[in-house]
Amino acid sequence: MKAGYYMAFFALGAILGSFFNMLIYRLPRNISIVAPRSFCPHCGKQLKWWHNIPIVSYLLLGGKCYYCKSPIGVRYLLVEIITALTLVLLYAKFGLTEKMLWASLFLLPLIPAAFIDLEHYILPDSATIGTLVWGLISSVGHISPVSIKASVIGALVCGGAFLAVAFLSKGGMGLGDVKLAASFGANFGLKVGVTSLFVSVLLGALVGIALMLLRKKGRKDRIPFGPFMVLGAYACTFFGKELARLYLGF
C-alpha cells in the first residue's frame, strides 16, 4: 500500500514540476500561463503531448527538441525531479496528515521561485506573499506546527530583521528576500524561523566564498539569495527542531 502512495506522489510531483517549468519560463517574461500551448523556445513549434511527459520525454528525446534538435536546458529535468522528490520526502516525513498539507503548500511554491530568482533576480510575490499568507492561515487549527501568535511574531521578527539588513545594505538585499523571511517566520514560528535564516546565510556565505575562490564571481557580482533561503526552508521543514538546537542551543 505504502509503495503505491510513494509512486503516486512521485508522479504527481513530476507533473507539478512540469507545470513549474512553464511558470519559470513564462512568469518573468509576462507570457500567459494559459493561452499558448507548450512550445519550443528556439523554433517556436508546438509540442505534442508525448513530448511533454514529465521526466520521461526529456530522457527519450535525449534533452533535445524533437523538431529543431536544439538542446533543452537540464533545468527542465532537474525541476521535475526535485518537485517529485519533494512530495515523496514530505510524505515520508509527515504521512497523509495536515502537516503534509501545510509543508507542501509552503515548500512547493518555493521551487519555481528559487529558479526564477537564479535567472532573473526576482522572487515573485505569488510565492513570497502567497506562502506568508498560508503560514498565517495554516497556523489556525493546528495545520502548521505553530500557533497563530507564534506565526505572527515569527513573521514580524524575521521580516523585520531582513528589512533592517535590506535598509542597511542599500539594495544588497531585495524586498523579495524580506517578504520570504517574513513567510519563514509565519510558517516556522520565531525559533525555527530564525534558524532557517541562519542556515540560508551560512549556505549563501559558503557558496559565495567558494565561487570567489574559484574566481567565477568577483566580490561585486550579484548572487541571488533566494535559492539559499529556499534551501534553508527545506532544511528546517525536515530538521527544524534539531537545527534550532544546534544553532540557538535550545
Residues that bind Zn ion (CB under 5 A): 40, 42-43, 65, 67-68, 70
Residue with cell string 510575490:
125
Helices (H) and strands (E) in the chain, counts: 9, 0
Based on CB atoms, which residue is closest to Zn ion, 70 or 97? 70
Look up residue 243 and give its amino acid.
Answer: L
Distance of closest approach, residue 146 Cβ to Zn ion, in angstroms: 47
CA distance 76 to 154: 34
Q: How many CA atoms lie within 13 A of 194 on its CB side?
A: 16
Based on CB atoms, which residue is closest to Zn ion, 40 or 212? 40
CA distance 122 to 92: 32
Distance of closest approach, residue 41 Cβ to Zn ion, in angstroms: 8
Distance of closest approach, residue 28 Cβ to Zn ion, in angstroms: 21
Based on CB atoms, which residue is closest to Zn ion, 25 or 91? 25
Based on CB atoms, which residue is closest to Zn ion, 46 or 70? 70
CA distance 122 to 119: 8
Are the C-beta atoms of 118 and 224 separated by less than 8 Å?
yes
Are the C-beta atoms of 243 and 235 separated by less than 8 Å?
yes
Based on CB atoms, which residue is closest to Zn ion, 46 or 97? 46
Distance of closest approach, residue 64 Cβ to Zn ion, in angstroms: 8
CA distance 58 to 187: 35
Distance of closest approach, residue 99 Cβ to Zn ion, in angstroms: 43
